[in-house]
Amino acid sequence: MVAPTRLLALSVFTSLVSATPLSKSSPKSNSKFSRDLLVHEARDVLPLGFSLAGPAAPHTTLNLRVALTQSNPDAIVDALYQVSDPSSDKYGQHLSKSEVQQLVAPSEDSVNAVNAWLQKHGLSATPLSPSGDWLEVELNVSKANELLAADFSKFTHLDTGTEAIRTLSYSIPAGLKGHIDLIHPTTSFPENVQSLGTLQKRTIHTPILSRKSSSKCANGTTPACLQQVYNIPTTPAKHASNKLAVTGRFGNNAHYKWLQEFLQQYRPDMNSSTNFTVTLLDGGNNDQDAPSVSEGELDIQYTVGLATNVPIDYVMVGVKWKDDGLNGFLDEVNYILSLDQPPQTLSTSYGYPESSMSFALTDKLCKAYAQLGARGVSVIFAAGDSGAGCAGGNSTAFSPFFPSNCPYVTSVGGTTGSSPEIAWEGSSGGFSNYYSAPSYQSSAVSGYLAKLGLSPAAASTKGRFNATGRGFPDISAKADDFRVWEGSIASIWGTSASAPTFASIVALINDRLAQAGKAPMGFLNPWLYSKGKSGFTDITSGNNSVECNGKTGGFEAVEGWDPVTGLGTPDFNKLLALVGL
């Protein structure tokens, strides 16, 4: 049900091919190798919104990433479930870095075959991931075209002006089939990564009149409000080795001074000098004079300000042209996998539509999150802010959001209001077209589908989603009117706020587990859908309706799991009791 990506004008593509034939740059060697080259990945049409800008200059350097086939691609998923399913006798026995590496490493044959092929062409590769399942090869466009019988060209994303060098097809030697999963960036186009916290951003200029209410949420969502509605303790964490990493991107700098002033105002009980560390990847920067873009301030203020005294690391991934072509997600996960002691919790408030990357590429990233989970990391993603989403073009199909719908991460949807909270209309949610419903959620999903069948909303969703897919989000938390300090008060809406809120709760529970000498929660989902379910308050009204090409519809929050608010919103005290503390 992925909406077919449509070419803006088919003739553009045709003229591109004839203007820069494959063999032009090096006809001799190309014909020599094309005999045993087999097309590995190809696309017929450009993704929506892209147009051809012209041939790529032959000398332009490309950093191609080669994903080697893992000896046993299912092994990591099996290992993940063994340590994350509360009914397994290995529950909580997380794997070490070297144990995970052994599970995901490509075979020696694959490594040798690929290296020999590159050497024959005067090229060499550098490993990018700790297990060596990703290699990087630096070469120029003319060499890449020859090596891969490709046609690297410049493409422009019309809305943003972003330029990318891609090819619509590439080939590898027949003998390397079974050794190479994919080469990137080639046929998957970059999607503008969305930060999920700027929706409905407003700066509050006028002081808010005191509302007569005993609720701590009377003046918007603040740490005190969240502590009240989710029973989050103010007690400081004790374990310095229990860490929470927060993903940062693209100049969404978090400012020390704003955090300090935020804590003074909203956490007067805390030491306002409580700080965070910064890790820079891919040319990311920590410019404290950069303007506030809210996302970074939100993510830091609502982790430092909620996960009291848990060490917070802000992982800033830059946007150099050398970027991983996967919006920084690949480099970030490979960095965390390279750590001997990874943070126990990772919160990310960025994502992109699932359909924008191929399944092969998507799956490499999703299985890298499975590696983190097997090592005991709770990988938490904001669900997305697009409601049910629109597939684009003339389609009326919904559009699921990635990485939040990867089966090996925990997806956090959004709610609004209080007593009771209802679904926030922007909360992304629905069903993956790439992944079927994993067994941990199959009864939750079938329960929902049975209810949907009886409801009036069914008509508005009919034929617009893949009912066999992995349903997301898994749980939800408030997404409304978060008060963020950036020199003045901003009001931020979005699942960007929900993810750090839930991640802070997980980090605080992990601190208690560490104090009790127990393993961290790790990959949460098998536990959430079984033992942990009663630690959540079911959200039973609201919807994430969208209008796609004139057709309105979406999913509704109902009793039990639903693809808008998941299992509901967390209650710290109940969750703590459910982990046995």
Ligand X SMILES: *[C@@H]1O[C@H](CO)[C@@H](O)[C@H](O)[C@H]1NC(C)=O
State the residues that interact with ligand X by CB under 6 A: 1-2, 6, 58-59, 122, 139-140, 142-143, 207-208, 210, 216, 218-219, 256, 260, 271, 273, 275, 393-394, 425, 433, 436, 457, 466, 468-469, 542-543, 545
Q: Shortest distance, CB of residue 188 to ligand X, whole angstroms?
A: 17
Q: Which amino acid is at 382?
A: A
Assigned token pair, 240: 């310095």
Minimum distance from residue 399 beta carbon to ligand X (Å): 12
Q: Classify 521 as helix, strand or coil.
A: coil
Q: What CA–CA distance (Å, rounded) separates 353 from 581?
A: 39
- Three-state secondary structure readout of 447-459: HHHHHHHHCCCHH
* End-to-end CA gap in the chain: 44
CA–CA gap between residue 423 and residue 539 (Å, rounded): 7
Q: Does the annotation mark 136 as catalytic? A: no
Residue number, 94 or 470, with CB nearest to ligand X: 470
Rounded to 5 degrees, what angle do the CA atoms 101, 105, 108 make? 135
Using CB positions, name the residue nearest to ligand X. Answer: 436
Nearer to ligand X, 94 or 478 (CB): 478
Exactly one of 496, 498, 504, 545 is catalytic; which is it? 496
Q: Is 331 annotated as a binding residue?
A: no
The reply, when asked if residue 539 is annotated as ligand binding, is yes
Secondary structure (H, E, C), 163-219: EEEECCEEEEEHHHECCEEEEECCCCCCCCCEECCCEEEEECCCCCCCCCCCCCCCC
Q: Answer whether 467's CB lies under 8 Å from 431's CB.
A: yes
Please identify which residue in the block is written with the tokens 């699921």: 400
Q: Taking a C-beta distance cutoff of 8 angstroms, is the pair 558, 429 a contact?
A: no
Query: Shortest gap between Cβ of 549 and ligand X (angstroms)?
Result: 9
How, if at all, do strands 469-472 and 422-423 pair? unpaired
Active-site position among 146, 151, 297, 299: 299
Comparing CB distances to ligand X, the nearer of 97 and 216 is 216
Helix (H, G, I), strand (E, B) or coil at 296: helix
Say if CB 532 and CB 565 are below 8 A apart.
no
* 295 tagged catalytic: yes
CB of 256 to ligand X, least distance (A): 4
Q: Can you give the C-alpha Rg of the chain in angstroms?
A: 24
Q: Which is nearer to ligand X, 210 or 341 (CB)?
A: 210
Shortest Cβ 428–ligand X spacing (Å): 15
Q: Which is nearer to ligand X, 142 or 446 (CB)?
A: 142
**What's the rounded Cα separation, in Å, for the pair 541 and 424?**
10
Q: What angle do CA 503, 466, 48 make, to 5 degrees?
A: 85
Beta bridge partners of 339: none
323 assigned ligand-binding residue: no
Tell me how far, at minimum, the Cβ of 96 lies from ligand X, in Å. 31
**Of 2, 10, 8, 282, the residue nearest 159 (C-alpha):** 8
| CB of 189 or CB of 350, closer to ligand X | 189
Nearer to ligand X, 24 or 216 (CB): 216
562 is in an annotated binding site: yes
Q: How far is the CB of 349 from ligand X (least distance, A)?
A: 22
Annotated binding site for Ca(2+): 538-539, 560, 562
Annotated binding site: 538-539, 560, 562
Active site residues: 295, 299, 496
